[in-house]
Chain A
């Protein structure tokens, strides 16, 4: 083999190896979660776990129904997505196509700064400002509720969505734009009917990354959503998410106890949910590319 071939072979092997290591890690994490999670189901029925309406880990007997946590997560996440996706994509369109050059630079660096705010700081803002503000605006008993979490999470996901979508929009071939303008499209029609569809796969990728951040985020929701493990009737009520439950209770459990295993089961549920969401996203992305 020539030296060139050998170095190529080495590089190729290294790339393969790192791919395998990552896959290995994912499998290990899953097995690890799975082992401790199933320990719960020796004495606790999976049905009661999945569909139980109460999460009361220290009552007698304890109840580990994750329905309230699941619904709490869905509320907060869905709320955040509904807020951040349209706003994020619209902001990306504005920056990519509408904003004058000077403003564009300012906005882009602002968004980078936004992205670097630690989530604890956002949680703090939620407690001292956003929570009380929502409480007064909607006349709530407490401002520590689902919506506060959704708003802050939306804020956290926005920079990712904006910058990735903007990249995707900017890289749409100039010819598509000219073709649309040449047919007499207005700027808005060009954006809506040509730019957006052409940049769709990149925008969806940005949205998925943003949503990933929303689903996995723990600190903010623990700080501002009120931590009430009850099934919320609306997003304006205190609630608790899957992630906040694990983070909040892990420190208080005895290793090897039923409660301890229940938290692993919650982790497993979270893992499976994110896995399914990613899978759906990948499939729809591939369809969109065709």
Chain B
């Protein structure tokens, strides 16, 4: 499944993240390969969210946040890329679907509009193809003008995926995207992720180890702000090198 000679698209070098004086991530060195689905697992407060949001600098919305070390994206230091460009290229899906209080259409069209696309016909094309890729088109094609918050939770989450896809990112970050969803909606989101593999690099943070086992190519285990281990998903779940990983994936703690 993984390339023999994987191309690194994101790399962190000695990344340390702080909220005020509290250290949330310590000396993180991780490589993310192009077109893989990388699962991130770990107990609460292990720094998974902090890691994701460090990649597109969303952490900086918190005024107490600071970081040391480097995030390299596409052979460039992420700090050297303007925030809006970086976030266009690295999209994020949050745990709770963050639909905007407008119509389905406007939600998906928001990103392209922000990035300068004005023509209605062009927007319609983008919205349609994004909704299709997110497996939502058939369910909403007749009511694109309906307020998005009226969709079910699972539909809203796929709408958020469509919204992210509409800006044509290269990387998609998911922060526990299914934590509020029922099993059927979860399966649909996972299907969508599988379908997107050929075009996007995806990083999936999840509290549900089984989900990581199901969808990710490689899996990393985080604990108390450190990455304990990273490897092929199969290896992590069957023959991990670190005892703590073993304990976590077999459900002995966490």
Q: Which residues of A contact B (CB under 8 A)?
A: 101, 175-186, 189, 193-194, 197-198
Contacts and interface: CB of A to CB of B under 8 A. Distances in A.
B209 interface: no
Interface of B: 56, 58, 61, 63, 83-89, 91-92, 94, 96, 98-102, 110-111, 113-115, 160, 163-164, 167
B170 to A, nearest CB: 12
Contacts, number: 69
A184 B112 CA distance: 10
A178 B58 contact: yes
A177 B101 CA distance: 12
A44 B120 CA distance: 58
Contact of A179 (B86, B98, B113, B115): B98
B94 A184 contact: no
A179 B94 contact: yes
Given A176-B98, A177-B61, A183-B87, 14 more contacts: A176-B100, A178-B94, A179-B100, A181-B61, A183-B88, A183-B110, A183-B111, A184-B115, A185-B114, A189-B114, A193-B114, A194-B100, A197-B101, A198-B100
Contacts of B87: 181-184
A184 B111 CA distance: 7
Contact of B102 (A101, A182, A197): A197
A224 B101 CA distance: 45
Contact of B98 (A178, A189, A193, A197): A178
A180 B113 CA distance: 11
A185 B61 CA distance: 13
Contacts of A193: 110, 113-114
List the 7 shortest-distance A-B pairs measured between CB atoms, nearest first. A184-B88, A183-B111, A179-B98, A184-B87, A175-B98, A182-B92, A184-B84
B55 to A, nearest CB: 11
Q: Is chain A's binding surface mostly helix, strand, loop or mixed?
A: helix
A174 to B, nearest CB: 8
A176 B102 CA distance: 11
A171 to B, nearest CB: 13
Most buried by B among A176, A185, A198: A185
A182 B99 CA distance: 12
B81 to A, nearest CB: 11
14 contacts: A175-B96, A180-B100, A180-B110, A182-B58, A182-B91, A182-B92, A182-B164, A183-B91, A183-B163, A183-B167, A184-B115, A194-B100, A197-B102, A198-B101
A189 B84 CA distance: 10
A181 B111 CA distance: 10
Most buried by B among A176, A180, A181: A181
Contacts of B114: 180, 183-186, 189, 193
B243 to A, nearest CB: 37
Most buried by A among B88, B100, B115: B100
A128 B56 CA distance: 56
A33 to B, nearest CB: 42
B246 to A, nearest CB: 35
A70 B67 CA distance: 62
